[in-house]
Amino acid sequence: MKKILLILFISIQTLAFASPDGATRIYNLLDDRYDAFSLSLSKEMIDFFDLDIDMNGKEKWVTGDFTKGKLLTISNEKVKAKTICTLFKDEKYERIDIEEEMDEEDSNSEVYLFIERSGKNISQAHFVIENDENVVLLSIYGNMQVKNKKAQ
């Protein structure tokens, strides 16, 4: 019995002091370094919206069961999207190319997508969006798929 209690105690301590995942480390770093606005989204709020990401003709459709979301905005005078992309690469997130449907010169924003897979499905999707005024980091968590075209 003492052995079981000891194992249970060690397991609880490990969970309590486990380091945050890569995305949480990135959010914390950006929030600490820059004057950022952040917002957490509940499952109910995410389910209210149709999460089709279409930024000036660059499209990806995110479908699935969303559990939570986060949004962070920083002035692009303070940080650039490529800096945030480097943080995701350093945390070993997989980059997905965003489909280009417009000429580059017609677009006034850059969009990057980083994912974390959990088996066949995606457990995290992180969109890094830079426009003329700011950089937006939109993160969605759950059991998802990312597709080029919206399901009809």
**Enclosing domain of residue 126:** 21-147
Q: What is the pLDDT of residues 25-83, one digit of tens each?
A: 998 899 888 888 888 877 766 665 555 555 555 566 777 788 888 999 999 888 899 99
For residue 28, being part of any structural domain is answered with: yes
- Give the position of tokens 């969006």: 129
In the chain, the N- to C-terminal Cα span, in Å, equals: 57
> Confidence class of residue 16 from pLDDT cuts 50, 70 and 90?
very low
For residue 6, being part of any structural domain is answered with: no
For residue 113, being part of any structural domain is answered with: yes
For residue 8, being part of any structural domain is answered with: no
For residue 12, being part of any structural domain is answered with: no
For residue 116, being part of any structural domain is answered with: yes
Q: How far apart are CA 58 and CA 148, in angstroms?
A: 9
Q: Do the beta carbons of residue 124 and residue 138 sit within 8 Å?
A: no
Tally of domains in the chain: 1
Structure pTM? 0.74
For residue 11, being part of any structural domain is answered with: no
Which residues, listed in sequence order, are joined to residue 139 by a DSSP beta bridge?
70, 126
